[in-house]
Structure 1
Amino acid sequence: MILVFGGTTEGRKAIEVLEEAGKGYFYSTKTGEQEITLHHGQRIDGALDEEAMLAFCREHSIRLIVDAAHPFASQLHQTIEKVSVALDIPVIRYERIYPPRDESICWIDDYSQIPRDINSLLATTGVQSIAKLKPLEAEGIKVYYRILNRESSIALALKQGASNEQLCYYENPNDMPIKADAILLKESGISGGFVEKVEAAKAQGMRIIVLKRPDLPDTFTTVNGPYGLRRSVEKLLPEFYPLHSGLTTGTCATAAAVAQTLRLKKGETPDEVPVVLPNGETIKVAVGYGDDYAFCIKEAGDDPDVTDGLEIGAIVEDTLMIGKRDLIEIEGGIGVGVFTLPGFDYPPGEPAINKAPREMIVKNIMPLTNEHSPLNITIFVPQGEEIARRTFNPRLGIEGGISIIGVSGIVKPFSEEAFIDSIRKCMTVAKASGSERVVINSGGKSERFVKALYPTLPQQAFVEYGNYIGETLKIANEQDFKAVTLGVMLGKAVKLAAGNLDTHSRKSVMDKEFIKQMLDEAVCDIDISNITLAREIWEKLPKDKLSEFAKTIINHCADYCKPLLPNGQLTIMLIDDEGKVYQ
């Protein structure tokens, strides 16, 4: 069982990550005032001292603690550390993302270091800090306390000696109710509105004093985003998630580039390197080294990805700016495909490294170099050309190897997002081919049958939807296709006719009662009680009833599909096992 300490934005995010597992956990807050919805978790409220926490962890067999509490909850962090050591329970610290420290700001380690050469101070450090700031008033400094406008906060502020005249309130970080000589902030991170508070104070010409966040125990595993949290849970408590996540080829290429740049610039060869993902969080990625390159082994997790286990390498070289467009030039080496058709992020002739991975590489490499040291980075995949034959690449017009892709940097297991993204890319290429019609189908068999009906269409006009019929039609509408042909075989058709726009067996099953209803509509009196596969119906139907039954199914499918393509013409083709097409 997992115990989460939250009450923060990070706590809420931790809930979202853990809910994906569909398993139970505990969520603890000190005050119980945070509004949250738990589907699989159980909420507990109230402060836990060391003794109470030890007892709770023993009673509920806690095997992992997630500390997503406020960064300044030092006492809680220390208690968690003591309990984790005593019971040998690993701790994941869900930390915030912090901007670099601005040197123009006054940074302090504790309240005693607040400068005394000010007449007035606006303190935004919370009601618990009021008692610590009272000595300033004794020295003649006027102190105002900006707190949350809620009864519990006001009562606690007054109890600690603040007057009503000293209290001011805010609803968002930009509120600046009092203009004092200086403002006191906590280093609360991006999610705590720190950047906005600093900017608002600068706009008022106020001196900015910031209390540094306290150090965390070295024994904690630190993450600063949802992907890092999930991957850490998968590592420390593998059975919690039934399926594990992986890394995109873009993240692997970035990790390899970072490792080789560290080797080139600093002589370092760490086993893991930090990679900043597109969402701003940082994860650690394992790397290795060759003679003049670094590499990362593609990790697909439980996603059925043919690139799993591939070596993705990076060669990094100092270069001259002459003839170069950018400070960091990215090229494709052996095993990285080349775009040969329009419709991608880059024109034909460019290496098949998409925009998001290129941006990831540049963002991660920039801090390791400078404007006087331009770099040339070559990404290569030794087995890429061979593996590419088993991907969508040949159909997309990507030749010579795999593509380096990934929007989020992380692959979720059996990721619908990843598959739908590939559909979207195929649709983009189909549109760029100039075809006004796109033919969508479930796979190679159905495509072979419908392709014979459209001999003049380019290869790119045929797109596989797998099971995601609804999403594919929505994308076709987004791409403004004027004509769409949907080829479907009976197994998926009977699910689609019942309104299941995702026909995967995890989402929908064959509904015999509904099939019997459609048979009745087509005046087909056959017994289907013993069938296990929908295609068995073809063998049971009289030949003179085949067309009528097919028409009935198509009409039901159209009821759910046509609304998704309001501006285009939809043709639905039902295909039997012999390749005969009904429409």
Structure 2
Amino acid sequence: MEAAIEEESKNLRRGWTTGTCAAAASKAACLALITGEFPALVDVTLPGGQRPAFALAIEEKGSGFAKAGIVKDAGDDPDVTHGALIMSTVRRGPPGTGITFKAGPGVGTVTRLGLPLPPGEPSINPVPRKMIAQAISEVCHGEEDFEVEISVADGEKIAERTLNGRLGILGGISILGTTGIVIPFSCASWIHSIWRGIDVARAAGLDHISGATGNTSEKAAQAHHVLSEIALIDMGDFVGGMLKYLRSHPVPKVTIAGGLAKMTKLAQGMLDVHSKRGLADLEALAKVAAEAGASADLVARIAAANTVSHAFQLAGESGLALGDRIAALAWKTAAKALHDPDIALEILVFDRQGQLLGRTEFTPSDHSEPLSA
């Protein structure tokens, strides 16, 4: 998957994380607070040593504060925060307090355990906090006590397009980034949200989570098991990304739920089930149908089907339980990635209407075969 991502993104323009923008805005605001002047350009040091420079979108000074803002450029990545105005308001803090952080309008507050920050803290992640502190240290001339308030224009509305609400981050977006750089189509933020979802579920003491490839399968799996929202992991196409994290952060029971095409790809050995990583193989699906007892005529019609959904329709009309066979094969692919006797794995296969067409029983993932449903 990493190789495919690198090939996709190598000719695309990279961008900057919200953490980088917040650090640059904080440095500019701190400089203005101390000297009375905003810089024409402000540069910051990234974790990898790079030093990008930014122009300020807003500058404001008042009694005891200075405020600067930078418009986030995510490059060619389809980032929901692309174009967002990231602002920092810096004030002097009480002696001995060091740098303290505050969530301004549009920045969320942590309300659940399991995240990198405790409940009650502004959702400004640890690496951005370090970047902000370093940026301020470059201009503070020995002063060490500052209150830094990060805000994002329309951040609460932007957050509706993220998983923050499910993770218990309320009131706005998170200030994120581990490298300071946005790599186009790396999907790093999605992978990290999967991990944080697992962390929150574990911290809440849940013994069962469900990772789904899409909204229909997520709702269907939730109804099937009567799961709470915290138990739902928006896995998307990244089956492998979820399973690999579970190896070191286990949950006793794991459900993988998905639609026909994506579960067929998982059954064919693909842990990244995005359509760009390869289409489901109808010839291979026909072979599975043959192994499940399909007639020669049905096998031929499945091989010539227009889509995976069409193939399943043909199987259903002939009374062939193709979904159960796909679920069993998908289980074997996922179980190989987990391979943990203490994690029981289940596969649920749904059609576009949320109807269950195939499943396995929960089976310890170190077994060679799943238990039949």
Evaluate the alpha carbon distance shift between residue 360 and residue 373 of structure 1 in structure 2; reply closer, same or farther with a 3 A threshold. Answer: closer
Distance 1:453 1:291, change over 3 A: same
Q: 1:354 aligns with which of 113, 122, 125?
A: 125
Q: Deviations over 1:405-463 (max 9, x none)?
A: 111111100113332122111111121121011110012111110100222x3311110
Deviates more, 1:263-272 or 1:294-303: 263-272
> What SS does the corresponding residue of 1:524 show, helix, strand or coil?
coil
Instruction: Tell me the equivalent position of 2:58.
Output: 289
1:340 corresponds to which of 80, 96, 111? 111
User: Aligned to 2:207, which of 436, 443, 449?
Assistant: 436
Correspondence 1:228-247 to 2 at 5 A: 241-247=10-16
Other-structure match for 1:273: 42
The match for 1:555 among 292, 303, 328 is: 328
Amino acid at match of 1:459: E
Sort the Cα spacing of 1:330 and 1:579 in 2 relative to 1 into closer, same or farther, 3 A: same
- TM-score, normalised by the number of residues in structure 2: 0.87
What amino acid is the match of 2:27?
V
Native 8 Å contact 2:38 2:59 kept in 1: no
Report the alpha carbon displacement of residue 279 of structure 1 after superposing the two structures with TM.
2.1
Aligned-partner SS, 2:308 = coil
Aligned equivalent of 1:374: 145
Query: Aligned ranges for residues 171-210 of structure 1 at < 5 Å?
Result: none
CA distance in 2, matches of 1:478, 1:21: 29
CA shift for structure 1 position 286: 2.9
Aligned to 2:371: none
Indicate the SS of the match to 1:291: strand
Do the aligned partners of 1:276 and 1:283 also contact (CA within 8 Å) in 2?
A: yes
TM-superposition CA deviations, 1:132-173 (whole Å, max 9, x none)? xxxxxxxxxxxxxxxxxxxxxxxxxxxxxxxxxxxxxxxxxx
- In the alignment, is residue 258 of structure 1 matched against residue 27 of structure 2? yes
| Separation in structure 1 between the aligned mates of residue 78 and residue 306 of structure 2, nearest angstrom | 26
Determine if contact 1:247/1:410 at 8 Å carries over to the other structure. Answer: yes
CA contact (8 A) 2:282 2:308 kept: no
Runs of 5+ unmatched residues, structure 1 = 1-18, 23-239
Deviates more, 1:300-309 or 1:356-365: 300-309
Q: Does 1:425 align with 2:196?
A: yes
Which is higher, the Rg of structure 1 or of structure 2?
1
Separation in 2 of the partners of 1:529 and 1:378?
Answer: 59
* C-alpha separation in 2, matches of 1:529 and 1:555: 20
1:303 aligns with 2:77: yes
Aligned equivalents of 1:336 and 1:264: distance in 2? 22
> Equivalents in 2 of 1:306, 1:20: separation in Å?
21
Q: What TM-score do you get using the length of structure 1 for normalisation?
A: 0.56
In structure 2, C-alpha distance between the alignment counterparts of 1:518 and 1:550, rounded to whole Å:
10
Percent of aligned positions with the same letter in both sequences?
A: 35
Structure-1 separation of matches of 2:145 and 2:240: 47
Instruction: Measure, in 2, the Cα distance between the counterparts of 1:247 and 1:367.
Output: 20
Q: Are positions 1:578 and 2:353 aligned together?
A: yes
The offset of 1:524, in angstroms, is: 2.3
Tell me how far apart the structure 2 counterparts of residues 437 and 393 of structure 1 sit (CA, whole Å).
20
Where relative contact order (Cα < 8 A, 6+ residues apart) is larger, the structure is 2
Distance 1:373 1:346 in 2: 22
Q: Deviations over 1:473-498 (max 9, x none)?
A: 11122211111001011110111111
Q: How does 1:129-168 map to 2 (within 5 A)?
A: none
1:415 and 2:189 are equivalent in the alignment: no
**Compared CA separation, residues 405 and 373, structure 1 to 2 (3 A):** closer
Q: How many angstroms apart in 1 are the aligned matches of 2:193 and 2:18?
A: 14
Once the two structures are TM-superposed, the CA of residue 510 in structure 1 deviates from its matched residue by 1.8
Q: Is the 8 A contact 1:524 1:549 kept in 2?
A: no
The SS at the match of 2:302 is coil
CA contact 2:222–2:228 (8 Å) conserved in 1:
no
Amino acid at match of 1:272: L
Cα displacement (A) at 1:499: 0.7
SS class of match (1:438): strand
Judge conservation of contact 1:256–1:287 (CA < 8 Å) in 2.
yes
Task: Tell me whether 1:318 sits opposite 2:88 in the alignment.
Answer: no
RMSD between superposed Cα atoms in Å: 2.0
Change in Cα spacing, 1:241 to 1:482, as seen in structure 2 (3 Å) is closer
- Offset of 1:577 from its aligned partner? 2.4
Q: Which amino acid aligns with 1:550?
A: G
Q: Which runs of 5+ in 2 are unaligned?
A: 62-66, 360-373
Q: Alpha-carbon deviation of 1:241?
A: 4.8
CA deviations on 1:245-277 (whole Å, 9 max, x unpaired) are 111111111111011112222344234211111
